[in-house]
A = this chain, B = another copy of it.
Amino acid sequence: MEKLDHLDRRLLKILQRDCARSLEDLGADVGLSRNAVWRRVRALEEAGIIRARVGLLDPEKLGLGLTVFMLIKAGRHSPDWLERFSQVTRDMPEILGVYRMTGELDYMIRARVADVGAYDRLYRDLISRIDLHDVSASFVMEEIKDTTALPL
């Protein structure tokens, strides 16, 4: 896919906030026929620019009121260790994000759990599966902002 033009950007801007809008509706917003919109959206999907359309659930209502960030030092730094760490964290559904970082801390984990007790179980579970040198947790008291919408 070639460069995005102004209309592509406007469509993406809308779709990354609400992907349930009809083509007609989108067309009215950006000033195109529903077909022109359809073709553009399909091209954006095929190019992988739109990676997925997903439902965003309310964590509070599902009993997942606590977000925790875990700051991790690895201890070991072999490729095997990283491979295992990746596998283990990908397999744990409470873990939503795992990032290898620059700076003092080696890795950061973002997780969603019910409460501090559930975090403790997650922590024990994790360290039983993989060797970690140092782990410290920071809990989120307030989510001031949290969006999946990228700047366009």
Contact = CB atoms under 8 A, between A and B. Distances in A.
Interface of A: 12, 15-20, 47-59, 61-62, 64, 67, 69, 85-86, 89-90, 93-103, 105, 107-108, 112, 136-152
A54 B149 contact: yes
Given A112-B151, A138-B103, A152-B62, A146 B96 contact: yes
A11 to B, nearest CB: 9
Nearest to A152: B62
Given A90-B145, A145-B97, A139 B102 contact: yes
Q: Please give the count of copies of this chain that the complex contains.
A: 2
Given A17-B52, A55-B52, A94-B151, A102 B61 contact: no
A16 B137 CA distance: 27
B61 A57 contact: no
Contacts of A58: 48-51
